[in-house]
Structure 1
Amino acid sequence: MIGRNNDEEDSSTVVLPPPANFSQNRLLAQINNYLKAFGRKPWDTKGYCHGLALVWLQKMADYREEEYYAVIKKIINQPLEKIRELDEDIDVQKFIAQIEFAQNSLHYGYGQLIRQKDVDKILDAPTELYMNTYFSTKFLSKTLGERAKAYPAITVSSNNRYSHTIGIFYRDDKYYVFDANYRAGRAREYYVPMSAALEASRCLYDRLGVKCWQWRHEEVAMVHPVPSPVTSIAKRSAVNTMTLFPPARVADESVTKAEARDTAVQRHAILCK
């Protein structure tokens, strides 16, 4: 093989195309293009993170997450001039119906507000519900390490002003974290609970610009209904689920619960003046 003379090689910069964006913003925009083409009511562009996370958990339970990712890419990559053709794609139709149901389940009333204390009453599968007056990565890591094997399908909903939801699934000794805002449109994998907890913290707070001491002090009402339990179609059985509602994140792990609560009350009083 003849070697190349690097000194004589063209030094012009190669411009690479921007990475593909398969986040929910792109997905919702394209779904609304499809709905608009048929004169249907558009989805709320503020986000469908809750529905997207729950359908992803369903697919993870049956090792079918690649189908989920493929449908997202199919919808986003569909040319606008051919957008109406999505109406004939059974996979796309199932996906849209599942997301809509998970986000706004008619079974519990469309758009109905549900308080945290009612969640365990409406879920039929064995479920553990965790509410905390404060939240830290240390607490989340401990919870994942102790509970994920028994409760592999996990939803984590932040109760700050964004009400964002992500999914975590424990499978084959790995923690899969899915955020509908990921540009890659697919989950990230972690081998230890602390790594998964740190990523969850970044998804729910840091990347949304929410500071550690930004609190929503009142007893929080769910913005979105909690859906029916995750079910493994292959095994024909419900998958144990765990729902976490962390209201705020404490940067200093040494801060006690009492100190966090007292600080929250003080800051709430200041903000309400």
Structure 2
Amino acid sequence: MRATRHSISPSWTMTPEASQPGLDAPHLLVVDDEPELRSLLVEYFGRHGLKVHAAADAAQARDHLAQARPGLAVLDVNMPGENGLALARWMRETHPGVGIVMLTTASDSIDRVLGLEMGADDYLPKPFEPRELLARVRAVLRRLTVAVPPPAAPAPRLEAASDERLPFGFCQLDMAQRKLYGEQGQEIEITAAEFDLLALFARHPNRPLSRDQIMEQAHNRGWEVFDRSIDLRVMRLRRKVERNPDKPEHIKTVRNVGYVYVPAPR
């Protein structure tokens, strides 16, 4: 059993201004095999206006999800039996609308990468400050519950071949069918949000875009201080459109700004 003192920052304290959850409070599922940590998080989140259910392992989490649909789940990666990564993959297949925040050990960077590839919305390494976890949870919940904006004006039409496919890295982006194809013509699976980001880059080649611009133009919302969704999405896209994701040639980072799309030379 892992000691809870290794999971929560020593500076953590309860805050007296917290409020009790109301009838319409978001529903949160905490899945962790540490009983003391579960108890502390249930109390902490509850005092900050969230309805919380706790599960000791993946089996209990599955049972709960069969009966109720939480807005978000906080999953520990390193649990006995079915770990958090396998549970996250199953949740993405069966409950795609539920937000996922992964808890990882500080040294297991590979778990963070795998968690994001499984579809996690964010991650936080242990030990963590509960206030930061609460902020990340709230950021993901806001992202999932944002109101659908009115239809935007049609985007400027791109010059493309007759089949509406544009080169993007070593891939082809089909603007009409909203699909991505690899070098051999095979379809590469992307989400709607990933396509929107690729299309935004394609419309603004060689132009640095800030995270604010990306969030407003591709996702119709603002960027927040704890919001890593753009960086995580770019990381996943680089694995799909770059020959070497660790040394990207097309979706490049612009330090202190955001990202820029650099088309391949013709």
Same fold (TM over 0.5): no
Greater relative CO, 1 or 2 (CA 8 Å, sep 6+): 1
Higher helix share: 1
Q: TM-score, normalised by structure 1?
A: 0.24
Q: TM-score, normalised by structure 2?
A: 0.24
Structure possessing the higher radius of gyration over alpha carbons: 1
